[in-house]
Amino acid sequence: MVWLVSMAPSAAGALTTNDNTRPAGRFEENVLNVRLVADIGSWRPNGPQGTPIEIAAFGEEGADLSIPGPLIRVREGTTVALTLRNSLGSALRVNGLCARPGTCDPVSIAPGATQDVRFTLTAPGTYFYWGTTTGGGPIASRSRRDSQLGGVIVVDPRDGSPADRIFVISIFGEPLPEDAPRNKADAFAINGSSWPHTERLRHDVGDRVRWRVVNLSHSSHAMHLHGFYFTVEATGDIAVDRRLAPGQ
């Protein structure tokens, strides 16, 4: 069961959940052009009738904000030309908008300002980007208002990837020690929805299903899997994707 804090009605804009099946942006030759905005939206992880939560989120310009943020998905060798507008009331730092493997300096954007970023993605794998308005700490130190500021970056090989699904784990809550009890006001979400409002997955017996699971929460024990066999093909983080040999 999930308890959500009650909040008074506000002027926050529309916010949708993102199932990560539609990449953001538009292609011009070998360049993906993406225009994003960071703003405050009204999030309902417990469905349309659930209590709204006023939250910071990313979205594409001209569309609703979304949780998770827009998916950036390209084939290796693609250049991303990204414009990010900060409509939040405080300075925004965004991590992960860079080439891989390796780390990059965060992008800092003043309130009401716009920043252009350009980078080329040459290393296939699953990565992410995330933002904060509370300083230069790690993702686990973000405040609950910033806890949904993030999205996935997927780089497919030049010849493409097998069909897959992308699932982003997030928690609406303040960071706590791993052994501390959770706050009853916390909300746990996969692709922006809390159980039982999460997507149902239906497959035939014998299907081989491929997932990319990205943990953008402040907990290292956010989800575990029961009831079926699976093979881990790769692990990674914001900087690198590590392919595992079959014997591993």
Query: pLDDT (tens digit, 9 = 90+) per residue, 81-114?
Result: 999 999 999 999 999 999 998 878 899 999 999 9
Average pLDDT, the chain: 90
- Measured at the CA of 216, the angle between CA 18 and CA 40, to 5 degrees, comes to 55
Question: Tens digit of pLDDT for each residue in 43-58?
Answer: 999 999 998 999 999 9
pLDDT at 190 (0 to 100): 96
Q: What DSSP assignment string belongs to 139-187?
A: GGG--GGGTT-EEEEEEE-TT-----EEEEEEEES----TTSPPPTT-E
Least confident of 2-11, 110-119, 191-200: 2-11
How much is the pTM? 0.91
Question: Tens digit of pLDDT for each residue in 198-222?
Answer: 999 999 999 999 999 999 998 887 6
Is there a contact between 146 and 56 (Cβ–Cβ < 8 Å)?
Answer: yes
Residue with the bigger pLDDT between 21 and 224: it is 21
List phi, psi (to 5°) of 144: -65, -30
Map out the domains of the chain with their CATH numbers: 13-243 (2.60.40.420)
Using CA atoms, how far apart are residues 84 and 149, in angstroms rounded to an integer?
A: 13
Residue with the bigger pLDDT between 2 and 67: it is 67
